[in-house]
């Protein structure tokens, strides 16, 4: 029996205009070994101490977790010298980005982000009836002047991924401060620092200092990348008391599972594992970048655990051709048409075996 649109529940205007987020692929053609380099996952795996802590929760599955994430907030606060009262934990930083949009955006408002900013930003903005505004980038890097030029009386939130995914570029702290200085006091600056732990450049700052000295800045972080806990979906935000209060009013009462809370505590306390992961990335990032350039391909300089690779506009050598070629060899990278980067691919830094296999495949492809 057919059902007319008027006789069934209809979503709010704009919801059906949202393009769903599509994660990196996990499977490739054929039945051979697969190297998944599409989702920026840790090549070192999860911290064994975090795995043990998560497994220990299996005997308590009938109990609700701590709805306030008390132990995890205290562990994060201790690690970074922050007040736990100014920290909110969420189901990945994605949930926190949505909660910020829920708390501060509505119909008639605008949310601003840069051209190659995280795809979750427009989804969060549109989800609550606001209008996404996009500022163009220069050389795959956020252009602060372009961001400032697009601030209007309707702007309520500015999302800034720093470093940025999928480009791997970043803004020096002076540029972040310049952007913040140009914002009206009623505009919330959201510093998405999911990849902060990988950056070793002296002119970078994750946002902690700016949050500590401002009333309209928050910083979000994640355990999915350098901690290797993507499966447990753990994120956190550091912000002013009044923003923390808003998010605690609207978030779910038990938005993190007990296994994630326990694993997060174990992982944030193990600085040796975090340093090991950062050192591994620092070793392989230049190696891979140089090897890929040596094949004749262009690479955007990255400070993250992934590399943005650009392909020639030549029949048989475009990104779509390279993706098919790599998949045939069990190598999965990230297609970027959703970002408008139709002739580029993003490669996560993987295990040594995966990295060497990818370099060999790209050399063969570019012959």
Is the confidence at residue 261, as pLDDT, over 70? yes
61 and 168 within one domain: yes
Q: How far is CA 74 from CA 82, 106, 194, 205, in A?
A: 9, 33, 20, 22
Each residue's pLDDT tens digit, 277-302? 999 999 999 999 999 999 999 999 99
Average pLDDT over residues 4-10: 75
For the beta sheet containing 188-192, the strands, ordered from the edge strand earlier in sequence to the opposite edge, are: 87-91, 234-238, 217-222, 188-192, 155-161, 110-114, 131-135
d(CA 311, CA 320): 9
Residue 237 phi, psi (nearest 5): -130, 140
pLDDT classification of 30: cutoffs 50, 70, 90: low
Q: Determine, yes or no, domain membership for 87.
A: yes
Q: Give 37's contacts (C-beta < 8 A, 6+ positions apart).
A: 331, 332, 333, 334, 347, 348, 349, 350, 354, 358
* Per-residue confidence (pLDDT) for residue 18, from 0 to 100: 79
Average pLDDT over residues 36-40: 95
How many residues in total does the chain contain?
A: 367
Each residue's pLDDT tens digit, 147-200? 999 999 999 999 999 999 999 999 999 999 999 999 999 999 999 999 999 999
151 and 297 within one domain: no
Write the CATH number for 177: 3.40.640.10
219 and 157 within one domain: yes
Return the minimum-mean-pLDDT range out of 23-27, 152-156, 221-225, 345-349: 23-27
Is the confidence at residue 28, as pLDDT, over 90? no
* Per-residue confidence (pLDDT) for residue 174, from 0 to 100: 97
Average pLDDT over residues 60-64: 93
157 and 115 within one domain: yes
Q: Determine, yes or no, domain membership for 6.
A: no
Torsion of CA 239, 241, 246, 251, to 10 degrees: 60
Q: How far is CA 70 from CA 65, 78, 221, in A?
A: 10, 12, 17
Is the confidence at residue 29, as pLDDT, over 70? no
- DSSP per residue, 116-138: T--THHHHHHHHTT-EEEEE--B
316 and 194 within one domain: no
Torsion of CA 193, 199, 201, 206, to 10 degrees: 20
d(CA 40, CA 19): 21
- In 3D, which of 304, 309, 305 has the Cα closest to residue 321? 309
Q: Which domain holds residue 231?
A: 48-269
Q: Determine, yes or no, domain membership for 4.
A: no
Q: Determine, yes or no, domain membership for 206.
A: yes
Q: Determine, yes or no, domain membership for 7.
A: no
Secondary structure of residue 166 in the 3-state scheme: coil
Among candidate residues 254, 269, 284, the one where a domain is terminated: 269
Secondary structure of residue 331 in the 3-state scheme: strand
288 and 251 within one domain: no
d(CA 317, CA 323): 10
Is the confidence at residue 274, as pLDDT, over 50? yes
Q: Determine, yes or no, domain membership for 2.
A: no
Write the CATH number for 337: 3.90.1150.10
103-110 long-range Cβ contacts below 8 angstroms, 24+ apart: 103/243, 103/246, 103/247, 103/250, 104/156, 104/157, 104/188, 104/246, 105/129, 105/130, 105/156, 105/157, 106/130, 108/154, 109/154, 109/155, 109/156, 109/157, 110/152, 110/154, 110/155, 110/156
Q: The whole model's pTM is what?
A: 0.92
Q: Determine, yes or no, domain membership for 1.
A: no
Report how many domains make up the chain. Answer: 2
Element at 308 (helix H, strand E)? strand 306-310
* Per-residue confidence (pLDDT) for residue 1, from 0 to 100: 45
289 and 235 within one domain: no
Q: Determine, yes or no, domain membership for 58.
A: yes
d(CA 332, CA 189): 34
136 and 117 within one domain: yes
* Per-residue confidence (pLDDT) for residue 40, from 0 to 100: 95
52 and 29 within one domain: no
Among candidate residues 269, 293, 308, the one where a domain is terminated: 269
309 and 215 within one domain: no
326 and 203 within one domain: no
d(CA 259, CA 50): 9
Q: Give 47's contacts (C-beta < 8 A, 6+ positions apart).
A: 227, 228, 229, 263, 266, 267, 270, 273
Among candidate residues 269, 296, 325, the one where a domain is terminated: 269
Residue 147 phi, psi (nearest 5): -65, -45
184 and 114 within one domain: yes
Each residue's pLDDT tens digit, 102-122? 999 999 999 999 999 999 999
């Amino acid at each position: 029996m057919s059902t007319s649109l008027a006789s069934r529940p209809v979503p709010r205007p704009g919801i059906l205009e949202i393009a769903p987020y599509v994660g990196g692929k996990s499977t490739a053609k054929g039945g051979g070994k697969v190297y998944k380099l599409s989702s920026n996952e840790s090549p070192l795996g999860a911290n064994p101490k975090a795995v043990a802590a998560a497994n220990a929760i299996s005997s308590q599955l009938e109990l609700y977790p701590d709805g306030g994430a008390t132990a995890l907030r205290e562990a994060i606060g201790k690690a970074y010298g922050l007040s736990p009262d100014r920290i909110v934990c969420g189901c990945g930083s994605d949930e926190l980005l949505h909660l910020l949009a829920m708390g501060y955006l509505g119909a008639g408002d605008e949310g601003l982000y840069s051209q190659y900013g995280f795809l979750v930003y427009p989804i969060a903005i549109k989800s609550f009836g606001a209008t996404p505004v996009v500022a163009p980038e220069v050389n795959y890097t956020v252009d602060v002047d372009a961001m400032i030029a697009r601030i209007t009386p309707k702007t309520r939130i500015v999302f800034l991924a720093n470093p940025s995914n999928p480009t791997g570029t970043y803004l020096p702290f002076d540029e972040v401060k310049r952007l913040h200085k140009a914002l009206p006091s009623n505009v919330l600056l959201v510093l998405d620092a999911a990849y902060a732990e990988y950056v070793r450049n002296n002119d970078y700052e994750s946002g902690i200092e700016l949050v500590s000295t401002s009333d309209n800045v928050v910083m979000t972080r994640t355990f999915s990348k350098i901690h290797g806990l993507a499966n447990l979906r753990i994120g956190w935000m550091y912000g002013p008391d009044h923003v923390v209060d808003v998010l605690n009013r609207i978030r779910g009462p038990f938005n993190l599972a007990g296994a994630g809370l326990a694993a997060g505590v174990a992982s944030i306390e193990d600085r040796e594992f975090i340093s090991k992961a950062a050192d591994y990335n620092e070793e392989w990032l230049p190696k891979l970048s140089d090897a890929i350039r040596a094949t004749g391909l262009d690479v955007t300089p990255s400070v993250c655990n992934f590399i943005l690779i650009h392909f020639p506009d030549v029949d048989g050598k475009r990104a779509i051709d390279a993706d098919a070629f790599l998949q045939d060899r069990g190598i999965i990278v990230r297609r970027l048409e959703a970002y408008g980067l139709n002739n580029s691919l993003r490669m996560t830094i993987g295990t040594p075996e995966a990295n060497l296999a990818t370099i060999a495949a790209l050399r063969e492809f570019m012959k």
